[in-house]
């Protein structure tokens, strides 16, 4: 069975500072991993996905994530936060059956 744990339900960073959102996964098979973002009153939008190619994955809006098998982690980073990055971020894992399991989410706050 697959599961995802996101550390920190709320994260605050200053505008221009590094963004780091943490995600650890559990999977009985090599996983596919995703980060989605949800803006208020909207559905989820894919930021990036890992499908067993390069371990460093680059996504949209300057985000990237690194797959570390030894640490079962897939943390999301962005070098410099922008006010428009304020949203809820979800890490998700999938095996081979297209059933995607989401974490509880991390709300990112950007301080001016």
Q: Which residues bind other proteins (CB under 8 A)?
A: 9, 31-32, 34, 36, 41-46, 49, 51, 90, 92, 94-105
Return the number of the residue (19 or 91) whose C-beta is nearest other proteins. Answer: 91
Provide the 10 A C-beta neighbour count for residue 78.
Answer: 21
Return the number of the residue (45 or 80) whose C-beta is nearest other proteins. Answer: 45
Residue among 14, 13, 2, 30 at smallest CA distance from 91: 2
Residue among 55, 58, 39 at smallest CA distance from 47: 58
Least distance (Å) from other proteins to the CB of residue 44? 4
Give the chain's radius of gyration (CA, Å): 13
Least distance (Å) from other proteins to the CB of residue 40? 11
Return the number of the residue (83 or 97) whose C-beta is nearest other proteins. Answer: 97
Residue 27 tokens, joined: 């999977």
């Amino acid at each position: 069975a697959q599961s995802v744990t996101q550390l920190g339900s709320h994260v605050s960073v200053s505008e221009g500072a590094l963004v780091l959102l943490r995600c650890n996964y559990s999977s009985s098979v090599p996983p596919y991993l995703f980060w989605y973002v949800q803006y208020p009153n909207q559905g989820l939008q894919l930021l990036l996905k890992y499908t067993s190619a390069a371990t460093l994955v680059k996504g949209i809006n300057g985000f990237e994530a690194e797959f570390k098998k030894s640490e079962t982690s897939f943390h999301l980073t962005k070098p410099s936060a922008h006010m428009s990055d304020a949203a809820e971020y979800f890490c998700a894992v999938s095996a081979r059956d297209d059933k995607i399991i989401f974490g509880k989410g991390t709300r990112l706050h950007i301080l001016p």
